Structure 1
Amino acid sequence: MARPMLAAVFIKTGIDQVRRAPDLAPAAEPVTERLAGPLQLPQDPVLLVRLNGAAMAGAGVLFGLGRAPRLAAAVLAATAAPTAYVAHPFWTEKDRAVRSEVLGDFLKDVGLLGAALLAAVDTAGKPGVLWRAGRAGRDAKRLAGVAAREAAHAAEAGRKDLQLAAAKVG
Structure 2
Amino acid sequence: MARPLLASTFLTGGLRTLRDPGAVAPAAEPVTRPLTARITALPDDPARLVRVNSAVQVGAGLLFATGRLPRLSALALAAGLVPTTLAGHAYWTEEDPEERARQRIQFFKNLSLLGGLLIAAADTHGKPSLAHRVSNAG
Provide Cα deviations, 1:30-54, integer angstroms capped at 9, x if missing partner.
1111111221112111100000010
Runs of 4 or more, structure 1, over 6 Å off, are none
Larger C-alpha radius of gyration, 1 or 2?
Answer: 1
Q: Is the 8 A contact 1:17 1:52 kept in 2?
A: no
Query: Gaps spanning 5+ residues in structure 2: where?
Result: none
Provide Cα deviations, 1:111-170, integer angstroms capped at 9, x if missing partner.
11111111111111111111111111xxx3xxxxxxxxxxxxxxxxxxxxxxxxxxxxxx
Provide Cα deviations, 1:40-86, integer angstroms capped at 9, x if missing partner.
11211110000001001110100011101000000010011111111
The one-letter amino acid of 1:95's match is D
Matched residue SS, 2:38: coil
Partner residue in 2 for 1:75: 76
Give the structure-1-normalised TM-score.
0.77
Partner residue in 2 for 1:64: 65
Number of equivalent positions: 137
Q: Is the 8 A contact 2:71 2:121 kept in 1?
A: yes
Matched residue SS, 2:126: coil
Q: Is the 8 A contact 1:42 1:48 kept in 2?
A: yes
The one-letter amino acid of 1:4's match is P
Aligned partners of 1:17, 1:113: CA distance in 2, in Å? Answer: 19
Q: Is the 8 A contact 2:91 2:104 kept in 1?
A: yes
Partner residue in 1 for 2:28: 28
Aligned partners of 2:56, 2:27: CA distance in 1, in Å? Answer: 19
Give the structure-2-normalised TM-score.
0.94
Partner residue in 1 for 2:127: 126
Within 5 Å, give how 1:96-135 maps onto structure 2.
96-135=97-136
Query: Gaps spanning 5+ residues in structure 1: where?
Result: 141-170
Aligned partners of 1:100, 1:64: CA distance in 2, in Å? Answer: 31
Which structure is higher in RCO with an 8 Å CA cutoff and minimum separation 6? 2
What's the offset of the Cα at 1:9? 1.0
Aligned partners of 1:22, 1:95: CA distance in 2, in Å? Answer: 24
The one-letter amino acid of 1:133's match is V
Cα root mean square deviation, aligned: 1.0
Aligned partners of 1:32, 1:3: CA distance in 2, in Å? Answer: 29
Within 5 Å, give how 1:131-146 maps onto structure 2.
131-136=132-137, 140=138
The one-letter amino acid of 2:17's match is Q
The one-letter amino acid of 1:30's match is P
Q: Is the 8 A contact 1:76 1:116 kept in 2?
A: yes
Matched residue SS, 2:114: helix
Aligned partners of 2:85, 2:115: CA distance in 1, in Å? Answer: 12
